[in-house]
Amino acid sequence: MRTTLDIQDKLMRLVKKRAVETGQTVTGVVERALRESLMRERGAKAKHFALRWVTVRGRVQPGVDLTDRDALYERMEGRS
């Protein structure tokens, strides 16, 4: 949507500078700033992320002695 806004000269200079620094258009910088400000005011969070916790039963590999630390490290590092 095309619209007209009155923006203070100093603020517009900052917007243009940010656009050049980030390789965005002035419109892109303004849209992002407005979106972030409005989302923050609404108390909205960034995209919700849900970690799916998966557990599986495991067993000690044949030939591994968990009581022998040095042998265990050698096995984990691929030296055995």
Q: What percent of the chain has pLDDT over 90?
A: 42
Cβ atoms of 28 and 19 within 8 Å: the answer is: yes
> Residue 71 above 80 pLDDT?
yes
42 DSSP assignment: T
> Residue 7 above 80 pLDDT?
yes
Report residue 64 as tokens: 């591994």
- What residues does each domain of the chain span? 7-58
How far is the first Cα of the chain from the last one, in angstroms, to the nearest whole number? Answer: 66
Q: What is the pLDDT of residues 25-64, one digit of tens each?
A: 999 999 999 998 888 877 766 566 788 888 888 888 888 8
Mean pLDDT of the chain: 87
Looking at residue 80, its pLDDT comes to 64
SS3 49: coil
